[in-house]
Structure 1
Amino acid sequence: MIVRDQLVKFLNDELQVDKIRDYCPNGLQVEGKVEIRRIITGVTASQALLEAAISANADAILVHHGYFWKDEAAQITGIKKKRLQALLANDINLLAYHLPLDAHKTLGNNAQLGALLGVEGITAVAGVEPAGVLMQGQFKQSTPLLALKQQLQQLLGRDVLVSDAGIGAVTTLAWCTGGGQGYIEQAASAGAQLFISGEVSEKTIHLSRELGIHFIAAGHHATERYGVKALGEYIAQQFDVDVEFIDIDNPA
């Protein structure tokens, strides 16, 4: 068991939330019971995840995508009412960490995706804030783009979209999980031959071709499963709590 405020402080300190500007509140978003024995982790605090957590008798839910985003409507109606009602009625804490979880040097989404791909020499791309939101590294040996596509599809369990810039095999790469396609120019400037993100925009493909950098969109949800899962496992190592990751499938 861990006391709620102790867990929040531990996570806020580990993820250095005070040092990162974000467009949502990081940390405790909805207050529930004081004593926490069971935590459910997941990518997004959707109704499906809330219901799974309720069925699992969770005391807290830990996610990457929580609530109360900048410029969203403040009214507690519709979907927002239903979600908050479920949390409050069951006295479940909701903790959410967005950019701090993307950028963490070992537990973050970027670090975890890099490790999954077997990337070596992983570092944050200099000049991009917060540090770690865009990472770079290299493969041990030059790898054909088609082989990387197949590897990603096998690891993530989904199809990926590929833009072949016609530059051949890949040694150096940069990546930003989720909706990070806007970093493609910084990735190219850092010397990457391949840029991986979760999402793709129309202009991303044109930039890939004109900058001469391969691009892969591997899914927002698919690329961001690993940070919150790793963070939950880290909590279980540090405290006497039961932690379970639940993957609510999302093809986006």
Structure 2
Amino acid sequence: MLSEYLADLLLVDRYQDYTPNGLQVAGKKNIQRIVFGVTASMDLIEAAIAKQADAIIVHHGYFWKNESPVVTGMKQRRLKALLQNDINLYAYHLPLDGHEQLGNNAQLAGLWQIDNPAPVRTDSLLWIGDMPNETLGEASDGLSSGSSSDLLGSSLADFADRVASTLARTPQVIAGGEHRIQRIAWCSGAAQSMIEAAKAEGADAFVSGEISEQTVHFARENGIHYIAAGHHATERGGVSALAQHLQAILALDCCFIDCANPV
């Protein structure tokens, strides 16, 4: 059964989460076509209906801690559309951030070509790794043909360009000095408060999705660069990788749909 397979794959029982992980809305029993997306928005539901999907799998589902339990307004419209079309909704929040192969943080490490990426602890969503050294070939500074010179890590500007090109979104960059980036920490989504832990782990820079007013001051006053790369943008990788996995392993018809979000 799909629920059990995903629970085992994503190590759901490991996490104390803010929302239920797994099947959130039951639909038809036979599942062959699945639409994947970051958030179970009405845009994604309508796209799934148009594709005659049997299920939707997302990172951001419903029934969050402390949200109102009443089924009105936007919640009613979304649930009505799912139920009327007999579409299952599955959601995986923290498990799809932390998974060491398919998770958002693991996918970002691959996009940004980070060496030795790993969570700082097995129970942590904060990841850390090393920026590869930049190598210069023949240049105007007199290097002979075929020689090379290594610059440790990456400049902040070069890494920000890498983030922009891989996520198709211009990040907000706060410089915490003029130093290059050798050790880098990151966590997808709204994890800007982890900048303190990133600094304690010896990171030269920290990347997350969002930024708060106090994040700017901490970065500047503690000598750590901060890059806000976008909540949505940093959390596309996990569901997309999960779609590819299920299609390859279970031979399901899987399609990732990116409903654009500028945040």
User: Match for residue 246 of structure 2?
Assistant: 235
Q: Deviations over 1:29-63 (max 9, x none)?
A: 00011011100000000000000000001000000
User: Match for residue 130 of structure 1?
Assistant: 123
C-alpha displacement of 1:240: 2.1
Distance 2:196 2:89 in 1: 35
User: Match for residue 110 of structure 1?
Assistant: 105
Distance 2:244 2:222 in 1: 39
Distance 2:116 2:166 in 1: 20
1:41 aligns with 2:41: no
Which runs of no fewer than 5 residues in structure 2 stay unpaired? 134-152
Question: Pick from 168, 185, 189: which aligns with 1:178?
Answer: 189
Larger Rg: 1 or 2?
A: 2
Number of corresponding residues: 244
TM-score by length of 1: 0.95
C-alpha displacement of 1:164: 0.5
Percent identity of paired positions between Structure 1 and Structure 2:
50
1:140 aligns with 2:132: yes
Q: Deviations over 1:71-127 (max 9, x none)?
A: 00000000000000000000000000000110001100001011110001011113x
Q: Is contact 1:167–1:213 with CA below 8 Å preserved after alignment? A: no
C-alpha displacement of 1:233: 0.7
Q: Deviations over 1:170-225 (max 9, x none)?
A: 11100000101010000001010010000000000101011210000000000000
Question: Pick from 139, 143, 166: which aligns with 1:155?
Answer: 166
User: Match for residue 258 of structure 2?
Assistant: 247
Distance 1:74 1:167 in 2: 49
Q: Is contact 1:185–1:211 with CA below 8 Å preserved after alignment? A: no
C-alpha displacement of 1:154: 1.1
TM-score by length of 2: 0.91
SS in 2 for 1:64: strand
SS in 2 for 1:143: coil
Q: Deviations over 1:227-249 (max 9, x none)?
A: 01001111111112100000000
User: Match for residue 195 of structure 1?
Assistant: 206
SS in 1 for 2:132: strand
User: Match for residue 82 of structure 2?
Assistant: 87
Moved over 3 A (4+): none
User: Match for residue 3 of structure 1?
Assistant: none
